[in-house]
Amino acid sequence: MIATRNLVHRYGDAAAVDRVSLTIPDGEFVLLAGPNGSGKSTLVRHFNGLLDPDRGEVLVDGTPVGDDLVAARTRVGMVFQNPRDGFVAPTVGADVAFGPENLGLSHEEIERRVDAALAAVNMAGRRDERVDDLSGGERERVAIAAALAMEPDHLVLDEPFTGLDAPARESVVEQLRGLRASGTGVVLVTHDLRDALDLADRVVALADGRVAVDAPPAEARKELPELGVRVP
């Protein structure tokens, strides 16, 4: 479970996240929407300690993130907007193995996780391919596999559809559908609700750093246009 309590994050004098209290249970699929600059990225970067609160707190399974960064990063996987920035190794297999290797797991366990994570994103058998040779959609799926190999309770994806064409987007949506079915919690940050709205258990929308909508998709659909979020 991820919980924020009155979370405030400022850049200079401006509060990018302004007293946000949210509880995200294990297994929940949350769509985090809101206009550009509404604080989505700033908020989710607290979930695994990439940013620290100025006020309030962020708990993962009841423990403040800053008290046990390793636990938070094991439980909350993060996939960034531009997967290029996230790759640490030249080949698909080495990149996905990197996180589990840093957990000090056995060779057999690392192999098992890499195979399972690549299978989950339809990239089985492609361990030796070079990341540089992949399409945008394939890179996105490798980035998701790298996060999955940590076997997180929650996977946070910040604008994963940016720069993807329609088939690649559909492919990523399919992986997310599979994750949802397998019980992994997903926090999907996106302003592109086209394919994602029907996947969500819950839609949270931010406006000026505050929670403006927190509702099931059918209800949120009515409120989002007022915030400048286009609904399909």
Q: Which stretch binds ligand ADP (CB under 6 A): 29-37, 47-55, 102-110, 111-119?
A: 29-37
Residue 37 found at the interface with ligand ADP (CB under 6 A): yes
The DSSP annotation for the chain comes to -EEEEEEEEEETTEEEEEEEEEEE-TT-EEEEE--TTSSHHHHHTTTTTSS--SEEEEEETTEEGGG-HHHHHHHEEEE-S-GGGG--SSBHHHHHHHHHHHTT--HHHHHHHHHHHHHHTT-TT-TTSBGGGS-HHHHHHHHHHHHHTT--SEEEEESTTTT--HHHHHHHHHHHHHHHHHT-EEEEE-S--TTTGGG-SEEEEEETTEEEEEE-HHHHHHHGGGGT----
Residue 224: name its binding partner from ligand ADP, Mg ion, none (Cβ under 5 to 8 Å by kind).
none
Residue 91: name its binding partner from Mg ion, ligand ADP, none (Cβ under 5 to 8 Å by kind).
none
Q: Which is nearer to ligand ADP, 36 or 106 (CB)?
A: 36
Q: Which is nearer to ligand ADP, 14 or 124 (CB)?
A: 14
- Could you give the string, one character per residue 40-79, with x where binding to ligand ADP holds by CB under 6 A and - elsewhere? xxx-------------------------------------
Residue 41 found at the interface with Mg ion (CB under 5 A): yes
